[in-house]
Amino acid sequence: MMAEPLLQTVDLVKSFPIRRGFFGQRRLRLVAVDRVSLSIARGETLGLVGESGCGKSTLGLTIMRLYEPTSGQVLVEGVDLGRLSGEALRKIRRRMQMIFQDPFAAVDPRLTVEQIIREPLDIHQIGSPASRRERVRALVETVRLPSDALRRFPNEFSGGQQQRIGIARALALQPSLLICDEPVSALDVSVQAQILNLLRDLQDQLGLSYLFVSHDIAVTAFMSHRISVMYLGRIVEIGRSRDIVTSPRHPYTQALLSAVPEPDPGRRYQRRRLAGDVPSPIARPSGCPFRTRCPIARSECAEVEPVLRPVEAEHLVACHFA
């Protein structure tokens, strides 16, 4: 019998109302997340990759209920977050925390590092003041910040150190799941490696699960056990990291991988370029959402929307001709 997933989404949809026209008389809907179903096991990292604007961050915020879902379910240990409110919702949110893309914008610059990391403990009234201070000191050591960091302010630190402050704050409530929203995209390459290695070490030490959101498929493959590829709000391919990287089936995934620079200057490789731009999520194409840019699209693609289907063990793809 398989263990129950730590996190599961079922046909999750998030759309936003849009008004168009001179007097705003046209009412349209922008569908940012379109019927997304995924699951994350305990101790697992699920990567979520795609171009900017495909709905990755919106999905993470909807899972956290920072955006209210339009429809569908978010289940944490089998509990439907959509049915919770008040103290019950507040209690389960301790198990889910976020790491944000811009570490400086995610903190209050008027607070010291000690106050920033202690804030979740104060809000949830966990422990005594003395135990909270001790917890903060331990977290600073865990994320490898200098010992004198507690009394300093965020602007006194480098970008990598600021992200370590954000990670420490996310760990304060001892969560089971971290949603990492582009956690290294704002950092230098050398610093990116340090933060990624820190996240992997923390996962081993604390048994954390990650939803790792990124536009960089190489970084995502390094971090993830499985990868889900998102396009125009939909999951178009999902599978084990090695299968996605070595044997991508969806044309969109193949294009993302071909854009990764080849480190060997003597090796020739062919870049697969996509035609056109990403369609508007307000006026989505009929049938397959990728067909307007797909090199293998046929008439059937405009008529029938593909669904995720297995092509190998644990490898699913939404393409008629994969």
CB 14 within 8 A of CB 82: no
Q: Is 158 part of any domain? A: no
CA distance to 22, 148, 201, 212, per residue, from 231 (Å):
31, 44, 30, 16
Q: What is the pTM of this model?
A: 0.91
- The DSSP output letter for 144 is T
Backbone dihedral angles phi then psi of residue 315, each to the nearest 5 degrees? -125, 110
Give domain status of residue 178, yes or no.
Answer: no
Indicate the number of domains in the chain: 1
Q: What is the mean pLDDT of the chain?
A: 90
Q: Answer whether residue 194 is part of any domain.
A: no
- Two tokens, residue 31: 């569908």
CATH code for the domain in which residue 9 is found: 3.40.50.300
**pLDDT tens digits, 269-279:** 566 777 777 88
Average pLDDT estimate for 132-144: 95
Residue 281 is predicted with a pLDDT of 85
* Per-residue confidence (pLDDT) for residue 223, from 0 to 100: 95
In a domain, 233, yes or no: yes
Strands (E), the chain: 7-20, 26-40, 45-49, 71-76, 79-80, 96-99, 177-181, 209-214, 226-231, 234-240, 309-312, 315-317
The amino acid at residue 243 is D
Domain span at residue 33? 1-95+219-260+270-322
Residue 224 domain-assigned (yes or no): yes
User: Does 34 fall in a domain?
Assistant: yes
- What is the C-alpha to C-alpha distance for residues 266 and 269, in angstroms, rounded to an integer? 10
Mean pLDDT of 196-212: 96
Cα–Cα distance measured from residue 148 to residue 119, given in angstroms and rounded to the nearest whole number: 19
